[in-house]
Amino acid sequence: MRLNLLKLLEQIFFMQLKEKYVTDNEGNKIAVLLEIEEYQKLLNALEELESALLN
pLDDT digits (tens, 9 = 90+) for 35-50: 999 999 889 988 988 8
Q: What percent of the chain has pLDDT over 70?
A: 95
Residue 55 has pLDDT above 80, yes or no: no
Could you list the residue range(s) of the whole structural domain that residue 16 is in? 2-54
Domain count of the chain? 1
SS (H, E, C) the chain: CHHHHHHHHHHHHCCCCCCEEEECCCCCEEEEECCHHHHHHHHHHHHHHHHHHHC
Tell me the pTM: 0.70
